[in-house]
Structure 1
Amino acid sequence: MAPPQSLAAAALAATAAAVVFSSLLYRRKCGHLATRVRELEAALAAAVEKAASERRGRVRAQQSLRRALALSEKEPRADEARPAKAAAAPASYPMAPIGTVQSCFSTRNGTPRQPLVVTLARATVAFDPGRVPAAALEGLASYSHCWILYVFHLNTDLDKMWKDPARSKLKAKVRVPRLKGKKMGVLATRSPHRPNPIGLSVAKVEAVDGHAVLLSGVDLVDGTPVLDIKPYLPYSDSVKGAAVPGWLEVDGALAVESIHFSEHFISALPLCWVHAQKQSLYASADEFQDLIKQVLSWDIRSLSQQIRPHQVNMETETNHHYGEEADENQGDGACPGVIYHLHLEGIDVSYRIDQGSNIVVEDATLLPGAGNQNRHGYLTWRDKLGSSGL
């Protein structure tokens, strides 16, 4: 048995070791706390300096504004030396497009008058990567539909409207196809010829890929500048019990009686499709023919063509697909058996329509430059769409 002195010495040594170890732990903890305190003090000092800098900036801005106001009060106002009619122009809000539409509709003629009427009508909205990063489109594919805000860029009076508004004379009333040429206030219609040529359409979101969105049910012509995209919200965007004028409730007012595809067209389409399919938004020539049938199921002719059938130069046609600006006095060169043209996916589709609204699609020819453009075609979207397709 160890003597009492040895036990006491051992206990004392253990106690000393514990004290030393505790002291080391305490010093280390104090060191961490001191470091954290210094970090917090530095962060606080930076925040105080930032707040002071912002305050100095606001003070300088307020001082500059006061000096500018004082200077403007001393100088004579420019509008005081002018007649009242020559007052300063109202404020403007310039906007730049964020993307461009790559549509199956090559021209305004044939583009549906309203969205979702032609369900097979497809378009890709290609966004400018410099303005819209791909991350901005994250989550859009979760919505079934979206709104598209765009510019009616093919209006013939855009330059005059924007560069010299004083010379631009807005037509308060426009002719409406459903009213057979009768006029209605422009703000009570969907006419593209508006005080500000901005359009609003809803479309089905089929797929999203990088900087592009594939839409269906569109009423947008190729090359349309897009200002914005917004998701469609059924609980707020769909109004229960919404009312429309009686002239809009007439079913089939512009519908045709029948559509027949000639043997010549059926043999010509596959030849065109060999060149057009690479950049087309459609999987096959048969699906493209279904698109033609949907588009022509409505009378797409302008009001003047309906009143007096006549041919239109597709390269210089100026009437928008709404046909509301058509002049009933046009068409002095009307002739029987007029051949009309519809440009879709780089293919010129020619057809006839008789007085009973029966259509015969006669031919399909490839348009110059078809297949040579850099576009998002069906092959781009096939993997995104999966096995179900569109």
Structure 2
Amino acid sequence: MTTYEVESIATVIGGHTRVQDDYQGGVESVIRLNEQFPLESLQGIDEFSHLTVTWHFHLARPEDVQLHARSPRGNSQWPASGTFVHRNHRRPNQLATSYPRLLRVEGRDLIVTDLDAVDGTPVLDIAPYFAQMGPRGAVRQPSWPGEMLDPSYWSDAADRRG
């Protein structure tokens, strides 16, 4: 197997303080670009409404990886599906991609909302979201992702009970 070594380019500051399902919306956080990158590397990013952010589930452990089919969130009402059908920390490389809204840029800080990563998360890549690079054609999926994520995943975090 080929391996790759990558270094984080930024860190998530603030925002969510613990890992939890649902209620990911309405929370501002900062993606702080590492000092070794010049400010010029962010030039023009403020013209975009959304970012594509690749990040590492840094609080996950290697033993969290599960390569067998399982029902999402352990709910037997949803069909068992393989590791590469899930979008969680149990994936082999424990990587995630999110599409937060960019609110503003302050120096090397990208202030975003709707980033489902926690404080201290290492960011491996940042790019603006180009609508032309999104899905082409009709998007097809089974019903369970909508049942699992709507409406609670992006509900405002302030509405979480407990």
Matched, 1:140 2:42: no
The SS at the match of 1:250 is: helix
Report the AA paired with residue 116 of structure 2: D
Alignment of 1:68-83 (within 5 A): none
Q: Kindly tell me: are residues 246 and 221 of structure 1, through their superposed partners in 2, closer, same or farther at Cα, counting changes over 3 Å?
A: same
Question: What CA deviation, in whole Å up to 9, does each residue of 1:45-97 have, x standing for no partner?
Answer: xxxxxxxxxxxxxxxxxxxxxxxxxxxxxxxxxxxxxxxxxxxxx33110010
Percent of aligned positions that are identical: 22
Q: Kindly tell me: are residues 110 and 176 of structure 1, through their superposed partners in 2, closer, same or farther at Cα, counting changes over 3 Å?
A: closer
Aligned to 1:127: 33
Normalized per residue, which structure has more strand? 2
Aligned to 1:154: 59
Report the AA paired with residue 236 of structure 1: M
Structure 1 unaligned residues grouped into runs of 5+: 1-89, 161-167, 256-289, 297-349, 352-390
Matched, 1:192 2:70: no
Aligned to 2:71: 175
CA contact (8 A) 2:15 2:30 kept: no
**Structure 2: how far apart are the matches of 1:176 and 1:251?**
8
CA contact (8 A) 2:65 2:91 kept: no
Larger relative CO (CA 8 A, sep 6+): 1 or 2?
2
Question: What CA deviation, in whole Å up to 9, does each residue of 1:11-49 have, x standing for no partner?
Answer: xxxxxxxxxxxxxxxxxxxxxxxxxxxxxxxxxxxxxxx
CA RMSD of aligned residues (A): 2.6
Report the AA paired with residue 171 of structure 1: L
CA contact (8 A) 1:149 1:201 kept: yes
Question: What CA deviation, in whole Å up to 9, does each residue of 1:314-351 have, x standing for no partner?
Answer: xxxxxxxxxxxxxxxxxxxxxxxxxxxxxxxxxxxx73
Question: What CA deviation, in whole Å up to 9, does each residue of 1:128-167 have, x standing for no partner?
Answer: 112x21110010000110100111111122xx7xxxxxxx
Report the AA paired with residue 128 of structure 1: N
Structure 2 unaligned residues grouped into runs of 5+: none
**Structure 1: how far apart are the matches of 2:65 and 2:125?**
27
**TM-score, normalised via structure 2 length:** 0.84
Report the AA paired with residue 5 of structure 2: P
Aligned to 1:225: 122
Q: Kindly tell me: are residues 252 and 170 of structure 1, through their superposed partners in 2, closer, same or farther at Cα, counting changes over 3 Å?
A: closer
The SS at the match of 2:100 is: strand
Aligned-pair CA distance for 1:123: 1.0
Q: How many residues align?
A: 158
**Structure 2: how far apart are the matches of 1:207 and 1:253?**
27
Report the AA paired with residue 90 of structure 2: H
Report the AA paired with residue 174 of structure 1: R
Q: Kindly tell me: are residues 175 and 222 of structure 1, through their superposed partners in 2, closer, same or farther at Cα, counting changes over 3 Å?
A: farther
Aligned to 1:243: 140
The SS at the match of 2:90 is: coil
Question: What CA deviation, in whole Å up to 9, does each residue of 1:222-251 have, x standing for no partner?
Answer: 111000101101122143411011222438
Matched, 1:292 2:158: yes
CA contact (8 A) 1:102 1:126 kept: yes
Q: Kindly tell me: are residues 191 and 241 of structure 1, through their superposed partners in 2, closer, same or farther at Cα, counting changes over 3 Å?
A: same
CA contact (8 A) 1:147 1:230 kept: yes
Runs of 4+ with >3 A deviation: 178-182, 249-255
**Structure 1: how far apart are the matches of 2:108 and 2:149?**
38
Report the AA paired with residue 189 of structure 1: H
Matched, 1:216 2:82: no
Alignment of 1:376-387 (within 5 A): none
